[in-house]
């Protein structure tokens, strides 16, 4: 059994931030009704890579959802949507602020239809403030939100985080907002609007970078893989790849010196304490760089783990999806898509003892469930649905 | 009013992943009782940077919480904790798997004390599988979970994401798990255990990297700031810094050619379509690199925005915390700490119309609320609390 199976979500979101939020809710049981424009559907149906004609990108983000089409440019479709809102718990949208109001479907309108509705908007910059109307993209959120400025090689140029965390973090905060609003509604009967922005979400995860700036007065910079205040806590080149090593205290440091065959470093005054090692890391690193080249990553992991020193490989994606721990935790799952066939994707990361989530259904084809949803939610008859199709409402 | 004000959380977590989860819950009203070992408290109280004697890192993560000390090495403290569990809704912990069981405080034990309890564990690798006993660190989750392998300069070495997203994403998924379990408990009266790992959480955000690998058979690599399939969608050097430019379709591309003073590129056969521009980006970039050096970032933003081309600066942290949108959205807030004085930190990113969250209270000093919590939750009298202190239970 899934924990949210009593919750109906009308999901108008496209591409990534909103769909990621809706995916988390769907993975744990929400009936997510994905409402797409007829014809092309969610933009990301056209994003590669493809399996046959189907977007693997779209399929991995939209499993467990149902799809119906609705042409919101038509008044009849908007009226139908409002009827559906009466039967729903949550409306999700990630349009630019004001778009839902132009459709006559803004929160102020929808709450008159269903005062208990939870309306969650996930946008680039939020529904208030001078940038509200700017278009939101992952790379802009990463760039303007600061994380890019602290990610990159030491002394080098900033880089984008390789996954779209500008979108994904906003999606996660939106999911948290929906669940909190659900709790409040259960207690009080009151619905509300939730407004999450990609930019705000990036600021919320800057963590100690903000503290470091306000205390020191200078903006933190990229550090490559190096830890700012613990040394050695970094990636080093091995004979066949890389190895992450974290010697977080003097005891582990001394063990490390023995393991890498440099016992003389233990007595070296420049490297006695963690703060000395951090201060003098440029003098220390040539010894470590030389030493770690002597063995393979797998050999180092055996030696370092035996000594209790935190360590691990830098796994490329092919290694990640074949990792024994990742597989044991069912973090790679497969759906059987009616058109594309078997498609592998990430599993669900929240392991719940009483109400486990899971990936049960492949992503829907465009409008696959239009008739079934209209019958279930609104009791429409086949001929009524057929007429809606003919009038291009669906 | 905050949405979770009826929820009591007993929070045994330390450092980042667990405390970040507890912070989100506290920001939205949970009574988070942070339980720390007497003497030193949460390890992160010793992490820099410091304001006076107080860790700015600790203060930014532990606002809105109350602190009490409890020496779980003593049986009396464990008995006291069990009494508290009877009055609580949620227990949070981020020990290595098995530690709570050694204390006699594992989920199986606690559910006999309070069957409704929601027990959430956030660990490096999860409570099952071959790596369960490995120590969890942010850099290991980032390295072993794959995001590091796709983050870095194009053709260069992988780098760590500059914020600790290995910890933070796990904290966010744990918060989602707690809220889903709360919903299930409201509906059924049943508590449960939640098991979230940093490694699983990283796999869950790899997004299209997994799809790209399974479709192409080759592992994606770092791309710097470049978009894998839209060109130009990248950062370029300006006269005084950098500018992100996203020309996502042919119409925007042609506008861009005019704005940067290269109208001849519009007719260039090598760059006619997005797929040609992406394929031939190495021939295209010299033109763009030259062109963008001609003006400042601020000048480019005016020109590009006027043409409707998505764009923005790469903000260092000093610019982020002074950005008009960030300030308008109250994403930088200040607490007045009893010892450290005013401390600035990130605000709350989920804007809720009926039940806004907020940062109301500074982080607690160690054990600041021990007496008040024991009085409120267990009805202990001042002399009983004094005796607990004398016996070093607190």
Which ipTM was obtained for this model? 0.97
What pLDDT sits at residue B119? Answer: 98
Q: How many CA atoms lie within 13 A of B88 on its CB side?
A: 27
What pLDDT sits at residue B330? Answer: 98
Which residues of chain B have a CB within 8 Å of the CB of A192?
352-355
What pLDDT sits at residue B366? Answer: 97
What pLDDT sits at residue B103? Answer: 97
Average pLDDT (B136-148) is: 96
Report CB contact under 8 Å: B213, A350.
no
For the stretch A135-177, pLDDT in tens is 999 999 999 999 999 999 999 999 999 999 999 999 999 999 9
Q: How many CA atoms lie within 13 A of A299 on its CB side?
A: 13
Average pLDDT (B348-357) is: 98
Average pLDDT (B44-62) is: 93
For the stretch B363-391, pLDDT in tens is 999 999 999 999 999 999 999 999 999 99
Q: Are strands B118-123 and B192-197 parallel, antiparallel or unpaired?
A: parallel
CA distance A310 to A245: 6
Which residues of chain B have a CB within 8 Å of the CB of A128?
328-329, 351
A209 touches chain B (CB under 8 A): yes
Considering only the beta carbons, identify the residue of A16, A181, A352 that sits closest to B352.
A181
Contact predicate B159/A156, CB 8 Å: no
Mean pLDDT of chain B: 96
Buried b (16+ CB within 10 A) or exposed e, B152-176: bbeeeebbbbbbbbbbbbbbbbbbb
Report CB contact under 8 Å: B213, A321.
yes
Distances (CA, A) of B218 to A53, A178, A320: 20, 37, 13
Residue B250 known to be catalytic = no
How far is the alpha carbon of B104 from chain A, nearest alpha carbon, in Å? 19
What pLDDT sits at residue A227? Answer: 86
What pLDDT sits at residue B208? Answer: 87
How far is the alpha carbon of B131 from chain A, nearest alpha carbon, in Å? 6
Report CB contact under 8 Å: B355, A184.
yes
- Say yes or no to pLDDT of B165 above 90: yes
Contact predicate A135/A124, CB 8 Å: yes
Q: Which residues have a Cβ under 8 Å from the Cβ of A279 and sit 6 or more positions away?
A: none
Which residues of chain B have a CB within 8 Å of the CB of A242?
143, 157-158
What pLDDT sits at residue A364? Answer: 98
Which CATH number, 3.40.50.10540, 3.40.50.300, 3.40.50.2000, 3.40.710.10, labels domain A8-205+323-390?
A: 3.40.50.10540
Which residues of chain B have a CB within 8 Å of the CB of A224?
157, 159-160
For the stretch B304-339, pLDDT in tens is 999 999 999 999 999 999 999 999 999 999 999 999
What pLDDT sits at residue A230? Answer: 86
Q: How many CA atoms lie within 13 A of B195 on its CB side?
A: 19
CA distance B364 to B366: 6
How far is the alpha carbon of B380 from chain A, nearest alpha carbon, in Å? 30
Which CATH number, 3.40.50.620, 3.90.1150.10, 3.30.1950.10, 3.30.1540.10, labels domain A233-237+242-313?
A: 3.30.1540.10
Which residues of chain B have a CB within 8 Å of the CB of A60?
207-208, 210-211
Percent residues over pLDDT 90 in chain B: 95
B211 touches chain A (CB under 8 A): yes
Q: Is-same-fold flag (B8-205+323-390; B233-237+242-313)?
A: no
Report CB contact under 8 Å: A244, B139.
yes
From A309, which residue of chain B is nearest by alpha-carbon distance? B135
The catalytic residue among B11, B27, B167, B195 is: B167
For the stretch B195-211, pLDDT in tens is 999 999 999 999 889 99
- Say yes or no to pLDDT of B297 above 90: yes
Low-confidence ranges of chain A (pLDDT < 50): none
- Locate the domains of chain B by residue range: 8-205+323-390, 233-237+242-313
Answer whether the bond into residue B356 is a cis peptide, omega within 30°.
no
CA distance B69 to B37: 5
């Amino acid at each position: 059994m899934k924990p949210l199976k009593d919750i109906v979500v009308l999901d108008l979101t496209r591409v990534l931030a909103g769909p990621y939020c809706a995916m988390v809710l769907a993975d744990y049981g929400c009936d997510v009704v994905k409402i797409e424009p007829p014809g092309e559907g969610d933009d990301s149906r056209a994003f590669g890579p493809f399996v046959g004609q189907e977007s693997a990108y779209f399929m991995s983000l939209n499993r467990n959802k149902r799809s119906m089409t609705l042409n919101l440019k038509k008044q009849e479709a908007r009226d139908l949507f409002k009827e559906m809102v009466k039967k729903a718990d949550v409306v999700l949208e990630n349009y630019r602020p004001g778009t839902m109001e132009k459709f006559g479907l803004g929160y102020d309108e929808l709450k008159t239809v269903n005062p208990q509705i939870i309306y969650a908007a996930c946008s680039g910059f939020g529904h208030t403030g001078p940038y509200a109307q700017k278009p939101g993209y992952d790379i802009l959120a990463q760039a303007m939100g600061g994380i890019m400025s602290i990610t990159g090689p030491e002394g080098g140029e900033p880089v984008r985080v390789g996954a779209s965390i500008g979108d994904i973090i906003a999606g996660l905060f939106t999911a948290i907002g929906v669940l909190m609003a659900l709790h409040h509604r259960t207690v009080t009967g009151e619905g509300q609007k939730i407004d999450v922005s990609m930019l705000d979400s990036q600021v919320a995860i800057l963590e100690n970078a903000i503290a470091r700036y306000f205390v020191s007065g200078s903006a933190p910079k990229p550090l490559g893989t190096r830890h700012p205040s613990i040394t050695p806590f970094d990636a080093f080149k091995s004979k066949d790849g890389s190895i992450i090593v974290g010697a977080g205290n003097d005891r582990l440091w001394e063990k490390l010196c023995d393991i890498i065959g440099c016992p003389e470093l233990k007595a070296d005054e420049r490297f006695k304490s963690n703060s000395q090692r951090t201060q003098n890391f440029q003098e220390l690193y040539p010894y470590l760089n030389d030493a770690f080249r002597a063995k393979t990553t797998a050999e180092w992991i055996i030696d370092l783990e035996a000594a209790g020193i935190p360590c691990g490989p830098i796994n490329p994606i092919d290694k990640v999806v074949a990792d024994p721990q990742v597989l044991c935790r069912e973090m790679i799952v497969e759906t059987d898509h009616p058109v594309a066939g078997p498609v592998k994707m990430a599993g669900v990361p929240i392991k719940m003892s009483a109400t486990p989530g899971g990936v049960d259904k492949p992503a829907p084809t465009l409008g696959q469930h239009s008739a079934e949803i209209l019958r279930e939610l609104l009791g429409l008859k086949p001929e009524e649905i057929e007429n809606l199709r003919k009038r291009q409402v669906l």
